[in-house]
Each structure stands twice: as C-alpha cells, then as structure tokens.
C-alpha cells in the first residue's frame, strides 16, 4: 500500500481506545448469554417438573437426535436470513430429499450416491429460488411461500402419494439411538455431523469473502453493489449453499425415519428452523446472525417440544402455545438488546 504518507492532522480521537462502556458490555453479554440462559431455564423447568422421564441420558440423546435435523437445516437458514432473505420451503425441501434418496435406493443406487443425488435435488430447489430472486427481482418470501406448496407437491408426485420404504443401509445409523456396541460415540453420528457443519459454516461466515459478502448484502444491498460485490452471483450461491444444508437435513431425516422416503415428513419444520435462527440472535431484516446462537435456538426448540411431551398434563396445543411465546419473547428480547446498544 502506498497510502501511508497522508499527513493528516489528527486531533486526539475522543473515544478511540477507551474501553467499551458497561452498557455495551452488558448488551454484548446478553447477545451470547440470552439464548443460553433461555435454554438453561427451559432445562431446569422440565428437570424439576419431570425429573424421572425428562432428566435421563436416553432422553437427552433423543433431544440431541431431534435437534440434528432442524439444526442442520437452520445452518443454511441462518446464512439466508443474514443475507436478508428467508426460506419457507425448507420443510418441503427436506421431504423432497428423503423421497429422492428413497427412489434412488429403490433403483439400486449405492447409499452414498443416493445421498448425493438427494442433496443435489435440494440444492436445485435453492438454485430455482436464487434464479427467481435474482432474475425476476422477486422477494424470497413470496417465492418460497409458493415453493412451500410446490416442492411438497413435487415430492408427493415423485413418491406416488405414499411413503417409500427402502432396503436397509448405513444411512439409518446416522440418526438413530446408539446401539450398545457404539456407546463410545457418545452421541449419534448425525449429531457430530451437525457440530462439524456448524464449525464449517461459522468459519465460512467469518473468514471468507463470501461470508463477509453475505453480511454486506443483508445489511445494505446498495452498499454491497457500490463496493463491487457481485450481487447476482453471491445471492445464487447463498441459496444453493443454504439448500445443501436443507438436503443434508433431509438425509438425516431419512435416517431418522429409518430409511423411509416420506413426502409428508418435516411438515412445519420451516417455522422451527426460522424460530431457531431468530432465537439465536439473527435479525429478520438481515445483516445479523450467528451459528452458535442458531444451534442453541434449535436445541431450545427441540427441548421445549420434548419436555412438553413428558409432562402428562400438557397437550400438543400447550406445546404450540409455549413455542409461540418463546419466539415472541426472543424477538422482544432482541429488540430490547438493540435499543440498549444504540442509545444515542
């Protein structure tokens, strides 16, 4: 760089170097601690209410197991939401993936190949979203609202209207309770996969140009354009990248269903996924979000569902109410945090 010789007169910067104010620290702490505190709170409540059924190693494994599908899909959703978009078709996309894998298996494809084709099918949905967003200038909300029905319809068509059972394979080991012989893994491979993918997406968001561009586009697309960010290409990439995670979630779901392709599975998952991302501290208006928070959010959502099932007096309806309250509380909490952060 040759810019070092600018001899600007610099009045001593007023605030530079001074440590963050206590209010700032407080809000920063809230940012990471908020979701964790919520998770602990939920955990403690159910642990007290139903210590015998909720607080067992097996049940904790089930919670993690259930987190894997939503969590993996939420990794992709986090990227989309940071970029200022949304994907309402993620549940349908998971179902599509299970159906495609099942069909491939029925046609004699090797498990690994079937998995890859399934993921590719999901990613092609992302490509469609991306093309419509960039070429027709439609909002991702509208497009994916349409695809929410259309993709599930395609899945049903492909499946011929019913579930598809497939011959046993290693895929089902990904997300099933560990058999006694494999307790050394501590948690099922699918959960490890989720953790590895989380680390991967965190690194992508933080340390790659693509990741920084995701934040730039979500925060202010005009600025990104001004700065020469290739908007069209990046957006396409974002949707394909994100739906690959929906595909991987589909693989896990296929495993969880014990090698079953089911066009009606993962119904309503899109809401759990989006809730997990928002609870994790992402802003639906874009520009903000983090993977760690998303994971906590996904775990929180699963734990609430699991815990409500364990409490005999709570019905499905109550579970829906609790879930709704948590989402609104998380959003309100985030608002509070933001208003504290910018008291100027």
Binding site residues, another protein, CB under 8 A: 1-11, 13-24, 206-209, 211-213, 215-216, 219-220, 222-230, 287-288, 341-344
Closest among 283, 271, 282 to 319, alpha carbons compared: 271
Nearer to another protein, 229 or 248 (CB): 229
**Residue 137 Cβ vs another protein, minimum distance, rounded to whole Å:** 15
State the Cα–Cα distance between residues 323 and 329, nearest whole angstrom. Answer: 10
**Residue 212 Cβ vs another protein, minimum distance, rounded to whole Å:** 5
Strand partners of residue 261: 164
Say if residues 292 and 72 touch (Cβ distance below 8 Å).
no
DSSP letters for 169-183? -GGGGTTSPPPGGGG
State the Cα–Cα distance between residues 32 and 201, nearest whole angstrom. Answer: 18
Nearer to another protein, 51 or 230 (CB): 230
Nearer to another protein, 107 or 344 (CB): 344
**Residue 315 Cβ vs another protein, minimum distance, rounded to whole Å:** 41
Burial zone of 72 (CB within 10 Å; 0-12 exposed, 13-18 middle, 19+ buried): buried
**Residue 234 Cβ vs another protein, minimum distance, rounded to whole Å:** 11
HEC string of 11-53? CCCCCCCCCCCHHHHHHHHHHHHHHHHHHHHHHHHHHHHCHHH
State the Cα–Cα distance between residues 325 and 199, nearest whole angstrom. Answer: 30
**Residue 225 Cβ vs another protein, minimum distance, rounded to whole Å:** 6
Nearer to another protein, 84 or 247 (CB): 84
Neighbours of 247 (CB within 10 A): 31
Total residues belonging to the chain: 344
Nearer to another protein, 98 or 234 (CB): 234
**Residue 337 Cβ vs another protein, minimum distance, rounded to whole Å:** 13
State the Cα–Cα distance between residues 281 and 300, nearest whole angstrom. Answer: 13
Nearer to another protein, 108 or 228 (CB): 228
Nearer to another protein, 13 or 181 (CB): 13
**Residue 339 Cβ vs another protein, minimum distance, rounded to whole Å:** 11
Strand partners of residue 164: 261
């Amino acid at each position: 760089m040759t810019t070092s010789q600018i001899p600007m007169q610099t009045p001593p910067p007023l605030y530079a170097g001074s440590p963050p104010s206590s209010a700032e620290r407080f809000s920063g702490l809230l940012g990471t601690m908020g979701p964790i505190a919520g998770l602990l709170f939920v955990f403690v409540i159910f642990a007290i209410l139903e210590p015998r059924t909720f607080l067992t190693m097996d049940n904790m494994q089930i919670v993690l197991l259930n987190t894997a599908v939503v969590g993996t899909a939420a990794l992709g959703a986090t990227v989309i939401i940071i970029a200022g978009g949304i994907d309402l078709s993620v549940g349908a996309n998971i179902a599509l993936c299970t159906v495609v894998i099942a069909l491939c298996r029925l046609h004699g494809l090797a498990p690994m190949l079937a998995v890859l084709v399934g993921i590719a099918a999901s990613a092609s949905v992302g490509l469609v979203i991306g093309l419509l967003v960039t070429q027709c200038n439609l909002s991702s909300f509208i497009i994916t609202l349409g695809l929410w029905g259309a993709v599930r319809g395609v899945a049903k068509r492909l499946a011929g209207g019913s579930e598809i059972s497939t011959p046993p394979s290693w895929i089902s080991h990904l997300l099933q309770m560990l058999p006694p012989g494999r307790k050394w893994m501590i948690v099922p491979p699918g959960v490890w996969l989720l953790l590895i993918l989380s680390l991967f997406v965190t690194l992508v968001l933080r340390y790659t140009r693509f990741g920084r561009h995701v934040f730039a586009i979500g925060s202010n697309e005009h600025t990104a354009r001004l700065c020469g960010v290739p908007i069209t290409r990046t957006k396409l990439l974002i949707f394909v990248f994100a739906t690959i995670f929906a595909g991987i979630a589909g693989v896990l779901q296929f495993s969880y269903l014990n090698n079953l392709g089911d066009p009606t599975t993962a119904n309503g998952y899109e809401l759990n996924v989006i809730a997990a991302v928002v609870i994790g501290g992402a802003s639906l208006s874009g520009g903000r979000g983090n993977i760690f928070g998303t994971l906590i959010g996904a775990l929180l959502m699963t734990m609430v569902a699991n815990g409500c099932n364990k409490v005999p007096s709570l019905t499905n309806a109550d579970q829906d109410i609790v879930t709704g309250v948590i989402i609104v509380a998380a959003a309100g909490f985030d608002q509070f945090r933001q208003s504290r952060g910018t008291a100027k």
